[in-house]
Amino acid sequence: MSDNVLVINAGSSSLKYSLIDAVSGEAAAAGLVERIGEPEGHHLHRGPDGEISISLKVASHEDALRAALDAFEQHGPSLDDLTAVGHRVVHGGSRFGDPALIDDDLVAAVTELVPLAPLHNPANLEGIRVARRLFPDLPQVAVFDTAFHQTLEPAAYTYAVPLAWRDDHGIRRYGFHGTSHAFVSAEAARFLGRDLAEMNMIVLHLGNGCSAAAIRGGVSVDTSMGMTPLEGLVMGTRSGDLDPAIHAHLVRELGWTVEEVDRALNSASGLKGLAGANDFRELSTRMEAGDPAAQLAFDVYCHRIKKYIGAYYAVLGTVDAIVFTAGVGQHSAPVRAASLTGLDRLGIQLDPARNNATTPGTVSTDDSAVTVLVIPTNEEWQIARETTTLLR
Ligand code: ADP
């Protein structure tokens, strides 16, 4: 069996794919089909011929995957020795603590979880249905965003709400970004030449979505996202933590519907709500130009990260490493500096020159008791690895 896995990440109006060697992590091709269902869609395919960009109408996820297969055929590389298809699935509920082989039962189980992830799971399922139709002879594996956090103890995952909510409706903390937290924590240990099983880490995944995880010996013990990806850190368009009574206030005082509140907290809050921009680069530019709303957004964002570092330090007792990853975590030295400032008594000392360098690696001083690292994430590689590991 070869190590080539086609990794598929199907969103509500997009389909991302990459062809990855599960052992080396090398991506021979990658692509993105966007604006599925709109009058004009777009397809970007990167492979041996370089980058191919095509505007085309894409009516469905099936059209999107067919467009991807056409691009492989016309521009390469060949998909002849494909071993499996690995799918990113956002919500695995309490049922999936590991990747799982896709069959009719799995599709039914993921369908049952749709109420917990109404935006994500239906799109993931559509990707699975289409790929099973187009690759009927290949094994396909579902890798869940929630799975890595299934190791949380009841004290960490239980919300203080009535038993019936928890028992009958699955209301508990699940956590997300698990594929990234698993990859980055293992990479951090490898980078330091240490045994993951003997390390305590706080991982900060700061992308469009943001989450923190407390990881003891490679095992997730707490994480900031909850039943849905709305809880926790401030994100591009999501509020993160807020008083749940604000929801009732908006309904009562402003006459909003539940859907309006949900949409506002998921799509119009976070950095976008604070400063009108969810892209961190735009926010940084405006902050440097002295825009007070951008400055406040930055301050709220970093204050929340610092609070979670303190909380997870207490949860873990000792911390060997704090690891920053994803777009903002990897590229924004000011975020790392503001989030870690004043934590010397916790043994956290950032080295300004290392922090301002653009290469990943150690950004703390040699004397810092806690090593601070910048480690790029690679969720596609992790999905490919978990796929082949399961099949072997
Ligand atoms: P996703 O969660 O969609 O995978 P990414 O991990 O790519 O997102 O992160 C996207 C975020 O990272 C955006 O807010 C983007 O502005 C930010 N980002 C990317 N590059 C930089 C940079 N050089 N400096 C600051 N922020 C950056």
**CATH no. for residue 214?**
3.30.420.40
What the block records as the tokens of 86 is 């690995």
Domain identity same for 238 and 296: yes
pLDDT at 343 (0 to 100): 98
Determine the longest span between alpha carbons in the chain, in angstroms: 61
Taking phi over 0 as left and psi of -120 to 50 as alpha, with beta for the rest, 236 belongs to alpha
Q: Kindly tell me if the per-residue pLDDT of 119 is higher than 90.
A: no
Predicted local confidence at residue 341, as pLDDT: 97
180-186 average pLDDT score = 98
Same domain, residue pair 132 and 216: no
Q: Once rounded to an integer, what is the mean pLDDT over residues 104-129?
A: 96
Q: Is residue 57 located within the same domain as residue 200?
A: no
Q: How far is the CA of 308 from the centre of ligand 1 (A)?
A: 20
> Rounded to the nearest whole angstrom, what is the distance from the C-alpha of residue 327 to the centroid of ligand 1?
3
Structural domain tally of the chain? 2
Evaluate whether 275 touches 243 at the Cβ level (below 8 Å).
no
| Residue 1: predicted pLDDT | 78
Confidence of residue 20 (pLDDT cuts 50, 70, 90): very high
pLDDT of residue 97: 98
Q: Is 282 in the pocket of ligand 1 (CB under 6 A)?
A: no
Q: What pLDDT score was predicted for residue 64? A: 97
**The domain boundary residue, chosen from 144, 164, 181:** 144
Q: Is residue 67 in a domain?
A: yes
Strand stretches in 166-296, DSSP E: 200-206, 210-216, 219-223
Whether 215 and 355 share a structural domain: yes
| 188 contacts 181 by C-beta, under 8 angstroms | no
Q: Is residue 168 part of a domain?
A: no
CA atoms within 13 Å, Cβ hemisphere of 205: 28
Q: Whose CA is nearest to atom 18 of ligand 1?
A: 327
Query: From CA 144, how far away is CA 379, in angstroms rounded?
Result: 11
Ligand 1 contact via 351 beta carbon (within 6 Å): no
- 221 & 349 share domain: yes
Is the same domain home to 216 and 337?
A: yes
Spatial CA neighbour of 84 closest among 28, 183, 25, 3: 3
CA distance linking residue 299 with residue 349, whole number of Å: 20
Same domain, 8 and 132: yes
pLDDT(196) > 90: yes
Question: Alpha-carbon distance 390 to 37, whole Å?
Answer: 34
Q: Tell whether 26 and 134 lie within a shared domain.
A: yes
Q: What is the pLDDT of residues 141-171, one digit of tens each?
A: 999 999 999 999 999 999 999 999 999 999 9
3 catalytic residue (yes or no): no
Tally of CA atoms within 13 A in the half-sphere of 200 that contains its CB: 15
Distance (Å, rounded) from C-alpha 223 to C-alpha 123? 24
Q: Binning pLDDT at 50, 70 and 90, where does residue 387 land?
A: very high
Tell me which of 81, 110, 144 is where a domain ends.
144
Please indicate, yes or no, if residue 184 is contained in any of the structural domains. Answer: no
The answer to whether the CB of 331 is under 6 A from ligand 1 is yes
Residues 243 and 339 in one domain: yes
Residue 391 lies in a domain: no
Among candidate residues 63, 145, 222, 320, the one labeled active-site is 145
Residue 96 lies in a domain: yes
Q: Whose CA is nearest to atom 22 of ligand 1?
A: 331
Together in a domain, 133 and 233: no
Residues of the domain holding 279 = 193-374
Judgement on whether residues 134 and 42 belong to the same structural domain of the protein:
yes
Helices and strands in the chain, H and E counts: 15, 14
Q: Does the CB atom of residue 240 touch ligand 1 within 6 A?
A: no
In a domain, 169, yes or no: no
136 Cα to the center of ligand 1, angstroms:
36
Residue 384: how many CB atoms within 10 A of its CB?
A: 29
- 279 Cα to the center of ligand 1, angstroms: 7
Do the domain assignments include residue 47?
Answer: yes
- What share of the chain has pLDDT > 70, as a percent? 100
pLDDT at 360 over 90: yes
Q: 270 CB under 6 A from ligand 1?
A: no
d(CA 64, CA 36): 7
Q: Is residue 288 part of a domain?
A: yes
Question: How much is the pLDDT for 10?
Answer: 97
Atom of ligand 1 nearest to the CA of 278: 14
**Segment 53-86, tens digit of pLDDT:** 999 999 999 999 999 999 999 999 999 999 999 9
51 Cα–ligand 1 center, Å? 21
Best residue among 208, 283, 285, 287 to mutate for probing ligand 1's pocket (most ligand atoms within 8 Å of CB) is 208
Residues 229 and 139 in one domain: no
